Amino acid sequence: MSETAEKNQDSDVGGIAADRLRSIIERIERLEEERKALGDDIKDIYAEAKSAGFDVKVIRQVIRIRKQEPADVEEMETLLDLYRRALGM
């Protein structure tokens, strides 16, 4: 078998480009490792905030609100205020 034929056979198994598949899987694995490391870093920051006396639940809520569009936040706050007044709060 020629060298080119062997390369094609190694990289194409059952109609699947094995080298390409391996590359994709390895990239996903690296990103999964990075995501875990980032998650650990975020947990550490929340622990730091808690030890500094901040309320972590409120910090999480602030982060969630900051991700929203300003108009959506305003609508939510308006409804929340309306519901509180309706309940006498």
Q: How many helices (H) and strands (E) does the chain have?
A: 4, 2
Handedness of CA 72, 77, 78, 79 (dihedral sign): positive
46 close to 59: Cβ distance less than 8 angstroms: yes
56 close to 46: Cβ distance less than 8 angstroms: yes
CA Rg value for the chain:
26
Task: Dump pLDDT digits (tens) for 30-41.
Answer: 999 999 999 999
Task: Dump pLDDT digits (tens) for 3-20.
Answer: 555 555 556 777 789 999
Structure-block tokens of residue 4: 């080119």
Domain extents in the chain: 1-53, 55-89
